[in-house]
Amino acid sequence: MSRQAQAAVLFLIGGALLHASFTDLYLRYVKAGLRPLLLVAGVVLIVAAVATVWYELRRPRVAKGKAAEDRSENQSGIEHHDGHGHAHREPRVAWLLALPILALILVAPPALGSYSAMRTGTALQKPWGFEDLPAGDPVRMSLVDYAGRAAYDQGRDLHDRQIKITGFVALDRGGTPYLVRMELNCCAADGQPVKVGLAGKTPPVLQPDTWLEVTGTYTGKQTRDPVNDGVIPFIDVTEAKPVPAPRDPYDEGGGG
């Protein structure tokens, strides 16, 4: 691979990163908070590509000047050895750098769904505290917030309230339905689910990975996740309707 080809690969990778960062494509790989780092990485790669091309264009002029100097020295009886008798070719394995470009441009992976959720233990952790819920019913809240309050606060602020949460459907081996949201620490590779069991007036037919907006009330019913023995609270469903998948399936933004 020549230096010009390396510069082209760097430019394409940088451009692909910028394209993904300026669209929603990057949300399939990392959480939203990492967008600035992706933008910086894309700019750095493009700058490196431009610098490589500039260096390669400048090198022939430098070489010509050095050759003229060598001829002048040889004419004066002075021998000059530059220590490089031939050009070195870069290994062909460097073309593997083009693979990330194909992955970013041609293959957009689906968001993590029910298959991953039911094979991974719940990531629900006990929160440090709980903010007061806003007035009015139904109160829209994130699935993670409801799960934390139901599991670790005994539903103290949830009694006699209509709750509205959103997530995708997952079914266990026994057919029990769950509403799920995936949490990311960094990227999709470390995504873990938070699960809420559905009780009450659940739809007669539930398809895994269907996104639902569920309205219901707190119930003290809980179960244990068979994968890691974590707590899974339930919600008593009064209404459930399909909704489109959100722009960012991993980041609830506190709004469900």
Residue-wise pLDDT tens digits, 202-216: 988 899 999 999 999
Give 155's DSSP letter.
T
Instruction: Report the predicted TM-score, pTM, of the whole model to 2 decimal places.
Output: 0.68
pLDDT for position 9 = 76
Mean of the per-residue pLDDT values of the chain: 80
Task: Compare 102 and 139 and report the one with higher pLDDT.
Answer: 139
Query: Given a cut of 90, is residue 36 above it in pLDDT?
Result: no
Let me know the angle formed at the C-alpha of 90 by 45 and 98, rounded to the nearest 5 degrees. 45
Mean pLDDT lowest for which of 27-31, 117-121, 243-247?
A: 27-31
Contact 141, 164 (CB under 8 A): yes
| Residue range 220-232, pLDDT digits in tens | 999 999 999 999 9
Residues 6+ apart with CB under 8 A from 118: 170, 171, 172, 178
Predicted confidence band at 104 (pLDDT cuts at 50, 70, 90)?
A: low
Buried b (16+ CB within 10 A) or exposed e, 61-71: eeeeeeeeeee
pLDDT for position 154 = 86
Q: Where are the beta strands (DSSP E) in the chain?
A: 139-140, 163-171, 177-183, 192-200, 211-224, 231-242
Strand partners, 197: 178, 234
Give 139's DSSP letter.
E
Q: Identify the CA nearest to 254 among candidates 134, 123, 120.
A: 134
pLDDT for position 14 = 82
Average pLDDT in the 161-175 region? 93
Pairwise CA distance, residues 148 & 145, whole Å: 5
Query: What stretch(es) of the chain map to CATH 2.40.50?
Result: 114-242
Residues 6+ apart with CB under 8 A from 183: 123, 144, 191, 192, 193, 194, 250
CATH class belonging to 114-242: mainly beta
Task: Compare 191 and 252 and report the one with higher pLDDT.
Answer: 191
By percentage, how much of the chain surpasses pLDDT 90? 34
pLDDT for position 145 = 93
Predicted confidence band at 244 (pLDDT cuts at 50, 70, 90)?
A: very high
